Amino acid sequence: MNDLDLCYLPALDALDAFRSRRLSPVELLKAQIARAEQVEGEINAFTDRYFDEALAAAKLAEARYMREDGRLRKLEGLTVAVKDEVNIAGKRTTNGSLTLKDNIARDTHPIVERLIKAGAIIHARTATPEFSSAYVTYSRLHGVTRNPWNRAITTAGSSGGTGASLAAGTTTLATGSDIGGSIRAPAAMCGVVGFKPPYGRNPEVAPWNLDMFGHQGPLARHVGDCALLQNVMSGHHPRDIATLRQKVTLPTVFPEGKTGSGVKGWRIAYATHLGDGVVAPDMKANLLAIVALLRELGATVEEVDLGWGHEISLAAQNYLDHLFGHWLVEIADKQGDLLCDYTLYYADRARRAGIEKFTDALRVMGKAYDSFGPMIERHHAFLCPTLATNAVRADQKPWEKMTVDGHEIDADYDWAMTHPFNMLGRLPVLAVPSGIGANGVPTGIQIVARSYDDRRVFQLAAALEAARPWMDSPARRPRL
């Protein structure tokens, strides 16, 4: 196996190779470091690198595998790139902002604590737009993060560096956060897998743990790897009152998926559009190809109309303008000269949001579930595109207009089809690749299941991955 193949080695396969001593964590890490040195100048996925510390940790992991006492942890020796949003004690956390360029964290986020305890090697931090506030990833502090598949195109945001690093092969696993699609949008744009867990499944720090839109979650190149990381992240934490005491452990291997029986007899719903939104033809075509595949695998698949309209996007915007937006207002009032133009744009919009819009947003959320809830209870899962288009510039401004299928749309909420499922935050949503678009950039779909039924979305995704593997050969990787 050459170094490039090592960089794309699935996490579960790497663990097997470590245990059998066919591969060392040091060898894998060195291959990824060399890959990062080769491609980072083009994609700019990392904000900080800890390569020397990581090599020392990899040598310790190698020694653990050489022993025969069986004391191996769940992520022993695997690299995990951590979004530059959560704290690691003694390390810089910038949130992509000049206001925090010298901010050294005093504590460690619960998610990262669990990763380190499980034996993960944190070798790099991944780029985010300033304060994770945009659907594209660039900042005055760190520059523009570019899509490994097409450097003119965005990775999406806000976990854009995470998606780029996985697609480029510079990490095995990675973390993200999702308040309006910030895990799922980069997963779709970069051709990887990302999970928005249901609210309360994974710990978060205050006050964001009390926001039902917000979630910390895993990204990976493969479904089983994503499940592996989610199992480490999830579960009740004493610092987060919202975390659920009942822990769900996902299988990392679904044997029925390999036989094609993983979704046989399932009843699956889909929609090519959410409400009156516009969707690019290749997004729709690739979703319909997945629908056809599921029928071949023995599922019954039917199109549904949720009855949603543009009020869904407005409600998500109003909700976030009041909570997340007013936090940006506080920063803008004190340090506005250091902020990115889009951060100031969101802050100004939040200033104009009246309280009546917040209560109206809650009303729309309830109405949205009035149609979605009964539908999802009758089906095993629901599918729709993750994004309306993948033709978005790497430096796209949120106030600029875009054209999709001959229609002018907003460059913010109109092209992401993710935020409705932050509104319905108890639903598990797994974003997986659906194909390649006309511009050579991946497309993706969202798999949604009923509240807190995480296993269903992973089982369906595993069946799709088994029938149509992703990134398992050079032909299905970006050319860098």
> Which residues are identified as catalytic?
83, 158, 182
Q: Is residue 410 part of a domain?
A: yes
Per-residue pLDDT, averaged over 2-16, amounts to 97
pLDDT value for 204: 98
Specify the pLDDT at position 353.
Answer: 87
Neighbouring C-beta atoms of residue 101, cutoff 10 Å: 14
* CATH number for position 68: 3.90.1300.10
Average pLDDT of the residues in 279-294? 97
Q: CB neighbours (10 Å) of residue 452?
A: 17
**Into how many domains does the chain fold?**
1
Across residues 124-135, what is the average pLDDT?
Answer: 97
Q: Is 69 left (phi over 0), alpha (psi -120 to 50) or beta?
A: alpha
Is residue 316 one of the residues assigned to a domain? no
Q: What is the mean pLDDT of residues 199-211?
A: 96
What is the predicted pLDDT for the residue at 258?
Answer: 62
pLDDT digits (tens, 9 = 90+) for 101-118: 999 999 999 999 999 999
Task: Say if 326 falls within a structural domain.
Answer: no
pLDDT digits (tens, 9 = 90+) for 218-277: 999 999 999 999 999 999 999 999 999 999 999 999 876 665 568 999 999 999 999 888
The per-residue DSSP string of 375-404 comes to HHHTSSEEEEESBS-S--BTT--TTSEEEE
The reply to whether 423 falls in a domain is yes
- pLDDT value of position 285: 98
Q: How confident is the model at residue 1 (pLDDT cuts 50, 70, 90)?
A: confident
In this structure, are residues 154 and 113 in contact, taking their beta carbons and an 8 Å threshold? no
pTM summary value: 0.97
- Residue 324 within any structural domain of the chain: no
Report d(CA 36, CA 174) in Å as an integer: 15
Is position 280 within any domain?
A: yes
Range(s) of the domain holding residue 209: 3-304+367-476
Beta bridge partners of 92: 104
Tens digits of residue pLDDT in 358-394: 999 999 999 999 999 999 999 999 999 999 999 999 9
Average pLDDT value for residue range 69-94: 96
Q: In this predicted structure, what is the pLDDT of residue 410?
A: 87
Summary mean pLDDT of the chain? 96
**Is the predicted pLDDT of residue 437 greater than 60, yes or no?**
yes
pLDDT digits (tens, 9 = 90+) for 399-432: 999 999 999 998 888 999 999 999 999 999 999 9
CA distance 233 to 216: 9
Closest CA to 49 of 26, 81, 86: 81
pLDDT of residue 158: 97
Q: What is residue 255's predicted lDDT score, i.e. its pLDDT? A: 79
| Cβ contact 160:129 at 8 Å | yes
Q: Is residue 269 part of a domain?
A: yes
pLDDT of residue 121: 98
* Position 126 in a domain: yes
